[in-house]
A and B are shown apart, each in its own frame.
Chain A
Amino acid sequence: MSKEVAVLGVGMHPWGKWGKSFVEYGVKAAEDALADAGVAWNDVQYIAGGDTVRNGYPGFVAGAIFAQALGWNGARVASTYGACASGSQAIDVARSRILAGLCDVALVVGADTTPKGFLAPNKGERSDDLDWLRFRVLGAANPTYFGLYARRRMALYGATTDDFATVKIKNAKHGLSNTNARYRREVTTSEIAKSAIVADPLRLLDICATSDGGAALVLSSMDFARKYGTTPVTIAGISTVTPVYPSTVIEAPNFATDSAVAVAPAAVSFRDSIAKAAYEDAGIGPDEVDLAEVYDLSTALELDWYENIGLCKPGDAEKLLRDGATAIGGRIPVNTSGGLACFGEAVPAQAIAQICELVWQLRGQAGARQVEGAKVGVTANQGLFGHGSSVVVKR
């Protein structure tokens, strides 16, 4: 049985710091996706919403909130939490529902209003919660972990802060023409070097902001799409993997890795396993990919992703970058949307926004940032606590 589902429509609310309710962003994105698909909201049988609990509580940022705002239509609902991977989990449940023959058309929505500054735990004393304790005991916000990876990369592979700056400059260029991006201006090396250190060796301009935004997809069965007489972009594979014990790279919000004393680490690390599972699901390899959207929480982390999603061998990411392969016009452009560098993170929307970009690219609708002839794209992302996320999109 084919595992493909059609992406009939995509839509976004521009990222920014708008200070409005996340519901408004989600509704706008949903309306655009429905219009793009030519599907009426009343014909949607299933709605899946990406959750976050950092900016509220479970159920506040959730599928039913969007269903109510669009007008109760009796659609079945799912709300999925996977931190930054919430969006791909929403896509995954909608796809599963369609592939199981339980519905024809599903709407997937993610949106968030993010407070200024570091993402922090919700208020309250929770001494049994590692995510609370890491702030209290270590003072470790998310960039702490990004800083550790960046420094490790420098020690292991000779990455330099110039390489990190090159990633930022590339993504800033990519995002220039993207009207959904929050930051649309070129950035210079000296500007980056002058920005304050947040988590050494990473500076303010190496680390993504937190933003407001919304993204939505209309998914359908291939049969339903054929009735529309179109050849849609399809979702060919999804990965929502967890790590395999022992996971030996320190991950937020943990204080320690697993111990490899009893069991040797798996040949494939957690981050390597994320896209690998999506490729296997889609029946393709990384050599067939034309472009990628990866989670550049930091500039240095984008380099890790090149290797994790199989664009090059471990230690070769700097060469790939320096050769210009990952810029638009290069062999394998990465973050053509501008990435988190231009968007900032709107947690439950981000994995969905990655798909929007790939769909526009694969349809040839990406305007000034178009990757010519793109046929296959992959996304990669990861949520706090061990949520992998990767999607393969094809036309």
Chain B
Amino acid sequence: MKTRNPAVQGWLNIDPERPRLMGTRCTRCSSVFFPGENTRCRNPSCGAHTLEETELSPSGRLWSYTNAGYKPPPPFVPRTDPFKPFLIAAVELDAEKMVVLGQVVDGVDLVTLKVGMPMELALDTLLEDDATKTIVWKWKPVSSTEGAR
């Protein structure tokens, strides 16, 4: 079996049963940061240096969405040749009161997306070679059974 690695170290928990985005939370003012901020809380009225790792909510509401109709330039690495357009979602997390971007899992039709609809986190393969799989987070409509591997 191939070794699974997160697309960016420290950004996500790639447990297939319990995928989570990982950020940090300020222990003084509770502000949340994704990707994690480790130096200084960016709330200018706080500025504490005590930030701890935290899991982000795995679900939220669709803030907006779009697609990539053209192949993005490097360092993007296309998964298919010829390039197949993919969807990108911006999802608002209720608990953290923040919007987080991610690609949308395969098999979702753009016309089925609606601003405000519930979305949840999923895992997918970003890159793959003979020995390793690089795992990335994606967003998936809550009702959808498509996509995530």
Chain A residues close to B by CB (< 8 Å): 117-118, 120-121, 123, 125, 127, 130, 132-141, 144, 147-152, 155-156, 196-202, 245-246, 248-250, 254-263
Contact = CB atoms under 8 A, between A and B. Distances in A.
B69 to A, nearest CB: 4
Contacts of A144: 66, 68, 88
A263 B31 contact: yes
A258 B41 CA distance: 11
Nearest to A115: B73
Interface of B: 7-8, 26, 29-35, 42-46, 63-70, 72-77, 85-86, 88, 90, 95-103, 110, 114-116, 126, 136
A155 B42 contact: no
A155 B66 contact: no
Contact of B73 (A120, A137, A246, A257): A120
B128 to A, nearest CB: 15
**B interface: dominant SS:** loop
A255 B35 contact: yes
Given A132-B75, A133-B8, A138-B101, A259 B66 contact: no
A263 B65 contact: no
25 contacts: A127-B8, A137-B8, A139-B86, A140-B68, A140-B101, A144-B66, A148-B64, A148-B90, A149-B64, A152-B64, A152-B115, A196-B69, A200-B65, A248-B97, A248-B99, A250-B63, A255-B34, A255-B101, A259-B97, A261-B32, A261-B95, A261-B97, A261-B98, A262-B31, A262-B43
A159 to B, nearest CB: 12
B98 A256 contact: yes
B61 to A, nearest CB: 12
Contacts of A258: 31, 42, 98
A151 B66 CA distance: 7
A135 B66 contact: no
B75 A151 contact: no
Contacts of B43: 245-246, 262-263
Contacts of B96: 259, 261
B32 A263 contact: no
Nearest to B101: A255
A155 B64 CA distance: 8
A257 B115 contact: no
A198 B35 CA distance: 27
Given A246-B43, A250-B90, A261-B95, 17 more contacts: A120-B73, A148-B88, A197-B85, A198-B69, A200-B67, A200-B110, A245-B42, A246-B31, A248-B99, A249-B99, A256-B100, A257-B99, A258-B98, A260-B98, A261-B97, A261-B98, A263-B43
